[in-house]
Structure 1
């Protein structure tokens, strides 16, 4: 008899609950958010993992706030690290007992995009559009991983196996960040062109922003400046060597000039996304283009912007009809005049996760400390969502099966 499986599910605006769900099988079943074309899909190339750590992400919060078209009862969670407990018939190289990091992108490994390392826009896993993820709206309906057990398709391609079980469990609070936020933040820094000696501005001091700042320092940035409206999150950024700007005091340019002597940086990173708020006296109001426009202002001519922050095509809570369909009032003329480039979209996690794993295992980086990682139980997940939504400077890691007890 299969083990009991409990999971965190979206129950409506502002509500999540822990519910009982079916134990995974090697077939994609019908359920909330599952594209009809995916129902009955055989997953003999998959594995079932028992979750070691599964994290709450800011992208999950967008759904929980009712700011997407996510259906009720969608099982949440795309940041998954686990122990393999079953392998499908066609799995060759992943073995029962392996501890693995699961990229949040679901990718087939067979299509043109996957072969070009564009795993964030795989062509074969989501009938709605290129790209897929676990437990996320419009991503094909693959069941989320904030649960005891989860199915991982195309396992030989998708998972990153940790070389030593004991070492992996010892460093799990860091390694759990490899499924999404560390590569995502790092991708933001890479696509912004960060290198040795760069000056960098990161908009947003949530976990992805702090991961981007960590990534920028790892890449050799001379100065990393983090901007936010939340004093606690800015304080967290300062703990590992970042400068900060308080956006309740106004646009970032003047404060950047006080730090650098000039009101611009070499590289800009948007770690906020579509629920951005105004700056200064406008900080009480949502203004979804604020971050992108301010980044174009403060990024030096010829520079680049990395945009790991999420933007959507359907936002029921958008401030106007345009915002409800992802159409924002961008000052594209500013970007054009300054010859700026910008990169959007899901981070292709596989491009970075092995190298970042090595940086963690060899003590080159302390990502868990930098993002304020905190382990909670599965039953504490609704409280974790509420605290995170209220602005806690914390990255909540769900310890669903007791692997993190005492760590």
Structure 2
């Protein structure tokens, strides 16, 4: 049995790479594992050799100490891997398959899964619907920022790449299928992006950039990306987006300058609960800023896609209400403008096969759009630090050196 290493959360601001258990076909006790899941038998699971595993902005919320994540939690929910072992109940996934792992863990059997709502599976997290690898309050499934990882319900969850050699040629692009590409795409679909749309995207981190690439793929006429970080805005501009630096003020006047009117057809929140204010308040955390500004700049009858993360518990929030996930949202404005809102985890399986085909047939270059940057697993602490400092990169961990051989 090979050894295993994992990227562990060791307290606010600190991640370290440590030796960890090799996966088995039973969920064992450990940091963050829900007691009701301990001892759960997993004959339907597969063990993967991790080919690529990405650092996500959602991971950063935990690492900053903005959640109740326990020390020792193995991180990582964006996983691409090669199957090395399957449980006795796995029928169709085979050893040697190269696969993408949706970050949502789903059973495929419950009512929500059968309705395509895999982000809120009812059977994998005893606390509430919805689960993910290596994430706080998500059932305790071990994260994939590791050499090897276990994936339950393998026949249902895993997306097999049809040609392994061809997939390895585009592996950095395909690594985005686990989360940010479907998530950005879901934000656009939820907001009603279509050919000719004018689109405003708050946030030029990897999800915002993926949403921008998705909007262009869907035929948007103008894609406007807003952020406080010039380097990230430059990255958005590099593939055809208009940009707004909200450090200079509210976006409405800048939108007017770009498209000739102060409102857009569609808007996407790719920031979430750690949002900061605009203009003179750009150094101050204002968790409702993005939601309120999106309602302000979206036309009446429009829609808001909200893939940005909002939490029910934020111990680092500035006020008591925000610590419980209660924000000062101008819901009256949204009501008056008849806005539609779509929130929650992206149901990755709704989109990942189609987006895989778009990658394989050169309809999109998502790795280039998000500036995907491979680094070895043991450099994960550096990747987390640089990403937290605002680097305009999507860091992709390369545990076995397989990405360096293709780049």
Question: Do both share a fold (TM > 0.5)?
Answer: yes
Quote the residue 2:109 is aligned against.
Answer: 110
The reply on whether 1:99 has 2:112 as its aligned counterpart is no
Offset, 1:405: 1.9
Quote the residue 2:334 is aligned against.
Answer: 335
Matches within 5 A, 1:193-212: 193-212=192-211
The reply on whether 1:289 has 2:288 as its aligned counterpart is yes
Q: Distance in 1 between matches of 2:214 and 2:194?
A: 10
Deviations 1:11-69 (A, max 9, x none): 00000000111000000000000000000000000000000000000000000000001
The reply on whether 1:272 has 2:266 as its aligned counterpart is no
Matches within 5 A, 1:1-400: 2-400=1-399
Deviations 1:289-346 (A, max 9, x none): 0000000000000000000000000101001000001000000000000000110000
Structure 2-normalised TM-score? 0.99
Number of residue-to-residue matches in the alignment = 406
Q: Distance in 2 between matches of 1:336 and 1:404?
A: 48
Q: Distance in 2 between matches of 1:384 and 1:402?
A: 16
Structure 1: state its 5+ residue gaps.
Answer: none
Offset, 1:143: 0.1
Offset, 1:403: 1.0
Q: Distance in 2 between matches of 1:136 and 1:50?
A: 20
Q: Distance in 2 between matches of 1:45 and 1:341?
A: 38
Offset, 1:375: 0.3
- SS class of match (2:307): coil
Q: Distance in 2 between matches of 1:404 and 1:261?
A: 44
- SS class of match (2:338): coil
- SS class of match (1:27): coil
Q: Distance in 1 between matches of 2:52 and 2:156?
A: 20
- SS class of match (2:24): coil
Deviations 1:70-128 (A, max 9, x none): 00000000000000000000000000000000000000000000000000000000001
Q: Distance in 2 between matches of 1:154 and 1:255?
A: 48
- SS class of match (1:8): strand
Q: Distance in 1 between matches of 2:369 and 2:220?
A: 16
Q: Distance in 2 between matches of 1:165 and 1:348?
A: 25
- SS class of match (1:212): helix
Q: Distance in 1 between matches of 2:324 and 2:195?
A: 39
Q: Distance in 2 between matches of 1:257 and 1:129?
A: 43
Structure 1-normalised TM-score? 0.99
Structure 1 residue runs of 4+, over 6 Å off?
Answer: none
Q: Distance in 2 between matches of 1:128 and 1:378?
A: 31
- SS class of match (2:403): coil
Q: Distance in 2 between matches of 1:358 and 1:138?
A: 33
Structure 2: state its 5+ residue gaps.
Answer: none
- SS class of match (1:42): coil
Q: Distance in 2 between matches of 1:169 and 1:125?
A: 31
Q: Distance in 1 between matches of 2:6 and 2:400?
A: 12
Q: Distance in 1 between matches of 2:166 and 2:63?
A: 34
